[in-house]
Structure 1
Amino acid sequence: MATEYAIIAGGCFWCTEAVFKQINGVESVESGYIGGHTANPTYKQVCNGDTGHAEAIRITFDPEKVSFGDLLDISFATHDPTQFNRQGTDIGTQYRSAIFPISIKQAEEAKAAIARAQSEHRDPIVTTIETGATWHPAEDYHQNYWAGEGQENRYCLAVIPPKLQKLRKHFAAKTVAE
């Protein structure tokens, strides 16, 4: 079994992590920061919007069970890729919609996924494709957030269940059986 990685930003990493942990073929999801200019950024620094980093997730997946393109399609269906530097009430470059391909093949697939998403949206897709960025894992308390403390966080309770509903509505066959 070959393992691959996908790095995707689509707003708050707590919310995107919760979605991708539900996908069959996803082995792990790590929250972190990518695409900025500060070495070893902290959550506080990233939230201030001065580092240039996006809150993102690094997905470890089995391509025999779920493709990179499927992961991108799921991302586009569970966040709003037409919002520039924001997702809902989260505003700033740290909440941008972005794909961070780790190969030329992934970059090509990212372009194709953006084209597929554009065919389903009236407004322009603003998701960027950013290459050559360094991944920084977020602090431990951000990992598996929804499964723990996130279930009591009002923000998460308002944002995550609708994302999970979209996931199950559009990608039920790709989700892990409950």
Structure 2
Amino acid sequence: MTDHRNAELATLAGGCFWCVEAPFERLEGVLSVTSGYAGGTTEDPTYEEVCSGETGHAEVVQIAYDPDAISYRELLEVFFTIHDPTQLNRQGPDVGSQYRSAVFYHDDEQRETAEALIEELEAAGAYDDSIVTEVEPLEAFYEAEAYHQDYYERNPDQAYCAVHVPPKLDKLRENFASKLKG
């Protein structure tokens, strides 16, 4: 069992947190993935408040990971593969600032890593359009309601999940097979 005392955190927003949580849960070195909210002004918002688009929060996942097993950069590489970082305030059918693409960094090293990777992806022409992912400091993380945690694992046949999560899992398997849990 991995020692949680050495765990580091990454907080990422890439659309609906159900769709981002499921791929990260399958990565070796990821100890836990918690759905929640970050980047807004309302203290301890509810899902309904965040969905209104008026709190300024994004739906995020906070990933506890073992840096000896998977690096922050590798987590970001997965992140930039499983969502479209060129869509401003949306992912697929989900529209609004709560679905924006964002990296909420925990320290300067994370900020530098995120900015460097974005520059590399842009220079390589990895996407047809410019990356609009925000890179901003994590001010506060609020855990989402219990029914949002491990949502896809508990509801794989729910219509939204059945359509939107499997393509992300396919991308994960295609691009990061060696990083998947056994």
Same fold (TM over 0.5): yes
Which of these residues, 159, 177, 181, is aligned with residue 154 of structure 1?
A: 159
Which of these residues, 117, 124, 133, is aligned with residue 130 of structure 2?
A: 124
Q: How much is the aligned-residue C-alpha RMSD, in angstroms?
A: 0.9
Distance (Å, rounded) in 1 between the aligned partners of 2:121 and 2:17: 21
Q: 1:37 aligned to 2:46?
A: no
Percent of pairs with identical residues: 48
Consecutive unaligned residues of structure 2, counting only runs of 5 or more, are none
Q: 1:91 aligned to 2:90?
A: no
Which of these residues, 135, 139, 148, is aligned with residue 145 of structure 2?
A: 139
Residue matched to 1:20: 24
User: In the TM superposition, what is the alpha-carbon distance from 1:117 to its structure 2 partner?
Assistant: 2.8
TM-score (norm 2): 0.94
Show the 5 A alignment for 1:160-175. 160-175=165-180
Q: Number of matched residues? A: 176
Distance (Å, rounded) in 2 between the aligned partners of 1:19 and 1:47: 22
Residue matched to 1:57: 61
Distance (Å, rounded) in 2 between the aligned partners of 1:75 and 1:111: 14
Consecutive unaligned residues of structure 1, counting only runs of 5 or more, are none
**Moved >4 Å (runs of 4+):** none
Distance (Å, rounded) in 2 between the aligned partners of 1:133 and 1:126: 20
Distance (Å, rounded) in 2 between the aligned partners of 1:161 and 1:123: 24
User: In the TM superposition, what is the alpha-carbon distance from 1:39 to its structure 2 partner?
Assistant: 0.7
Give the aligned residue type for 1:82. Answer: T
State the secondary structure of the residue aligned to 2:152: coil
TM-score (norm 1): 0.96
Per-residue displacement from partner, 1:66-125 (whole Å, max 9, x unpaired)? 000000010000000000000001000000000000001000001012123322112100
Per-residue displacement from partner, 1:17-60 (whole Å, max 9, x unpaired)? 00100100000000000000001100000011110000000000
